[in-house]
């Protein structure tokens, strides 16, 4: 189990710096994460740039519950390759909460956009696909949300709350990525 990360013994030196209250909080958090399988989970954001005909056309970010962010920037992007960053677990929990909420309120997003675009005769070329999901401890996708040309449609329909909220989630992933790239520099 990936939970072994939690059970790794702390060094005496490290432990000495933790007060009793802090230790209790830490242990409680880790126990909750471990018992719920959260540490084995991760959140994933992908963006497929379908206009690029090369095989490597997808930006991918994965944030583990332990707070490790890995980013793959495809070769057509600036600073291509793998980037990594450690972040606080609070960020994981915050993004996980938002993903769960977006999975709930974005269920009709695509059909809603489709209907509105048809009625208003709007066209956006060269669709891109944004995907947000959680991988559970058995690498199964849950809380999955997909959107086509999210940035473009959010710009076209700024009054659409569903689009705005999902777009905001996408922007948060980009901010995290920015941190990882700065870390690498």
Partner 1 sequence: MNRLTSILAGSLLALTSGSICAGAFIFADGDTANRIAHPSSYFGSGGEITVTVCIAPGSESIDDMQVSVQNTVEVWNSREPVSPNLFLGGSNNIPSGQIDFESTLLHEVGHCLGLAHPNLATESGLPAADRDYTQAGQGANTSFDIDPGSDGIKGSADDLRGDDVNLHWFNVGINNPFILTTPIDSSSYSRNTADLPGDDTFPANADRTVGNALGFSNSEAVMQQGAFFDEDQRQLGVDDVATLGLGMSGIDQTADTADDYIPVLEYGGVASGCDITIEVSGTSFAFCSVGGSFIAPDHLRVINAEVQLGSASEIAWFFNQTPLNPDEVFEDRFEL
List contacts with partner 1 (CB under 8 A). Answer: 47, 49-54, 75-78, 80, 110-111, 113-114, 117-118, 120-129, 146-149, 151-152, 155-156, 174
Contact 112, 169 (CB under 8 A): no
The CA distance from 163 to 132, in Å, is 14
36 or 174: CB nearest partner 1: 174
76 or 86: CB nearest partner 1: 76
> Considering the complex, what minimum distance in angstroms separates the CB of residue 81 from partner 1?
12
> Considering the complex, what minimum distance in angstroms separates the CB of residue 58 from partner 1?
11
The CA distance from 114 to 122, in Å, is 9
The CA distance from 99 to 147, in Å, is 13
The CA distance from 175 to 160, in Å, is 22
Helix axes 89-105, 161-184, angle to 10 degrees: 150
> Considering the complex, what minimum distance in angstroms separates the CB of residue 114 from partner 1?
4
> Considering the complex, what minimum distance in angstroms separates the CB of residue 97 from partner 1?
23
88 or 111: CB nearest partner 1: 111
């Amino acid at each position: 189990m990936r939970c072994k990360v939690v059970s790794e013994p702390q060094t005496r030196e490290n432990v000495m710096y933790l007060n009793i209250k802090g230790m209790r909080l830490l242990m409680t958090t880790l126990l909750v994460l471990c018992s719920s399988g959260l540490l084995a989970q991760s959140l994933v954001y992908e963006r497929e740039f379908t206009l690029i005909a090369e095989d490597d056309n997808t930006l991918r970010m994965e944030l583990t519950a332990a707070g490790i962010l890995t980013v793959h920037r495809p070769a057509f992007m600036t600073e291509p390759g793998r980037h990594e960053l450690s972040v606080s677990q609070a960020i994981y929990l915050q993004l996980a909460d938002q993903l769960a909420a977006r999975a709930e309120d974005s269920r009709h997003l695509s059909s809603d956009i489709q209907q509105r675009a048809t009625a208003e005769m709007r066209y956006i070329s060269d669709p891109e696909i944004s995907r947000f999901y959680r991988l559970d401890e058995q690498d199964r996708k849950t809380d999955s949300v997909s959107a086509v040309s999210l940035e473009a449609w959010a710009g076209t329909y700024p009054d659409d709350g569903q689009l705005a909220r999902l777009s905001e989630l996408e922007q948060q992933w980009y901010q995290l990525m920015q941190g990882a790239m700065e870390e690498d520099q």
